[in-house]
Chains A and B, each alone.
Chain A
Amino acid sequence: MSSVNTTAHSVVEPTPTVKRIAGAIVILYALITMVPLGWIFLTSIKSPPDSISYPPKIVFTPTLEGYCNLFTTRTRQTPDYIQSLPPPTGTCDEITRGRNMVIAGPSNYWPRFGNSLIIAFGSTFLAVSFGTLAAYGFSRFRVPLADDLLFFILSTRMMPPIAVAIPIYLMYRQFGLSDTALGMILLYTAVNVSLAVWLLKGFIDEIPREYEEAAMIDGYTRLQAFWKVVLPQATTGIAATAIFCLIFAWNEYAFAVLLTSGSAQTAPPFIPTIIGEGGQDWPAVAAGTTIFLVPILVFTIILRKQLLRGITFGAVRK
């Protein structure tokens, strides 16, 4: 593969042909992998009949019907009744009228999406805050049984969520935490904090101790040195950790479906329940899915460079 004769390259540098073949295979894989996601987006801008036509339609007239159906609840009315109404206000109204329906009110999607935001960001903030403190504690001080404690923290992730869900369900029912955002935030914080401690310990271990020692010789207390010297150095690590906690809390389903039913329900258990006339309303489901995926796509793109450290749990040194 690598040729000794091409003097322009180092001996281990692949030849242009090798690179081109490698590139072609990877790009082909990437494109195939994107097909389901592309299809979700396309379905979200189809009309319900187009979404279930066969063969699948690639060329169609785009419509916002899916999004309208997602954001509103509708009731079917007689043409006479619809005639008697004042002219439609806004695009959604027009689309639903065209299908002999009227808007009965807003759907539950935005409240569910809002719950997802509150719970995901709330638990991420707490998990990263607790995790940073604990990671610093484990990294810099001699904690009795530190290795055992760290392993214990990690082992809490090996339990299937359903298994701990039974006692948590009972406990939450006792304390009035079931179906509350606070309960879900605490739960996701607990699940994420183990990851946060491990990841952040790796990052903080790499910040030389000498920085704090120097700051302390200059008259800072330990807490000031932590706040003004260590934290700024750890920003990248904290950001990477936050994104992982956020992805978990944003995507979690098992706890959400068992412990929330109404007011604190997040989007993942809600989206599959979006029903139209006669089964799932696929354009609306696709619209909900598309909106739900956007934040994660944006984060992935922004933080792609930090992903590696996070995924390998800090176990891999670059």
Chain B
Amino acid sequence: MLARATPSTIAVRVRGLSDRAIAWLFITPTIALLLAINIFPLIWAVYLSFTNFRANRPNAEVEGVGLRNYQRVLNDADIWIAMQTTAHFVFWTILLQTVIGFALAYLIDRKFRGHAFWTTVILIPMMLSPAVVGNFWRFLYQPQIGLFNYIVSFFTGIPPSSFEMLGSVNLAPWAIIIVDTWMWTPYVMLICLAGLRSIPDYIYEAAEVDRASAWRQFWSITVPMALPFIMLAVLFRGIENFKMFDMVMLLTGGGPGSTTEVASITLKREAFESWLTGRSSAFAIVLFVAVFGLANIYVKALNKVKQR
């Protein structure tokens, strides 16, 4: 844009600030803020991860411990279990949200009467605070008095007090998966809807001329054309659910036992309850590198799909 300087733009640039000055003036505040509140803490966390610092003893002497924190983190069975729990949540929530979200988007794309209104209604859960909602779902899941158990028992005949969604080792993970799916399916639905709307009508018209069956049209046109969008939704949900914290904290706090203890909860416990600041920093860095690496590999795959 600067390269092709016509006489008029030269005249324009003489008055007021130069473009270069404006560019820096505009970008610097954002970069400065991110450096101060994101990058500086991150670098600090990297530094802490090589020390035995404990935040509840700020005056104790800080010693460098080399890679010992990382060694401990990578050899800690609890942390690997937490990672597995996280992976389990990410897998099931994404699977359910993608299937239900895509199905809903497909139905909404039929443009029935009032579809705009009902789409807005469906969007509401994802606008809410996961913590506040998680707290209330704890009430809905109460075995003696909760609405959820009442409804399940109404349809299945199982006595409501005989199953504790949040207190049972087998059910607690599903209790969280249900709430997460309730809350975030609309998000996947919206992105899928954008994908479906991006498919030009003439492709279906051509398929219609070729007498392709509805089933064939769905698998040969709809799904492949919407795939980049579905993958984008999976990426966003994956990153978010890898960090999942507030909802789990309020629903189960990681329990019963440690069956729902996802990585963020382990991290919180190590950092703010055990005050193992150095070690928890090492864990945080490992987590960040893992998300960052996985996201990068995934984005490469996504770009390949897009280019097809």
Contact = CB atoms under 8 A, between A and B. Distances in A.
Contact of A251 (B58, B120, B129): B129
A160 B284 contact: yes
A263 interface: no
B257 to A, nearest CB: 21
B80 to A, nearest CB: 17
Interface string B1-35: 11000001100110111011011111101110110
B145 A23 contact: no
B145 A186 contact: no
Size bracket, chain A contacts: 35 or more
Contact of A18 (B104, B110, B195): B110
A10 interface: yes
B139 A222 contact: no
Contact of B236 (A140, A165, A313): A313
Interface string A230-254: 0000000000000000010011111
A81 interface: no
B37 A14 contact: no
Interface string A289-318: 100110011011100100110011101111
Contacts of A258: 268, 272
Interface string A139-172: 0111100000100110111111111111111110
A222 B26 contact: no
Contacts of B193: 308
Given A26-B115, A223-B22, A133 B27 contact: yes
Contact of A164 (B45, B123, B246): B45
A222 B114 CA distance: 46
Interface in B141-192: 144-147, 150, 160, 182, 187, 190-191
B20 A141 contact: yes
A14 B26 contact: no
A222 B17 contact: yes
Interface in A1-41: 1-2, 4, 10-12, 14, 18-20, 22-23, 25-27, 29-30, 33-37, 39-40
Nearest to A272: B135
A267 B135 CA distance: 12
B83 to A, nearest CB: 12
Nearest to A217: B8
Contact of A280 (B132, B139, B285): B139
A316 B187 CA distance: 14
A162 B41 contact: no
Interface residues of B, number: 109
A89 to B, nearest CB: 32
A173 B245 CA distance: 23
A307 B204 contact: no
B229 A316 contact: yes
B190 A39 contact: no
- Determine which residue in A2, A159, A197, A254 has the highest number of CB atoms from chain B within 10 A of its CB, and name it: A159
A55 B149 CA distance: 10
A250 B19 CA distance: 36
A55 B58 CA distance: 53
- Determine which residue in B115, B127, B132 has the highest number of CB atoms from chain A within 10 A of its CB, and name it: B132
Nearest to A288: B132
A26 B145 contact: no
B110 to A, nearest CB: 4
Given A171-B41, A253-B246, A33 B205 contact: no
19 contacts: A2-B204, A11-B208, A18-B110, A26-B108, A36-B136, A54-B150, A137-B27, A155-B292, A160-B245, A160-B263, A162-B271, A167-B281, A171-B41, A221-B17, A252-B129, A253-B245, A304-B123, A307-B190, A316-B198
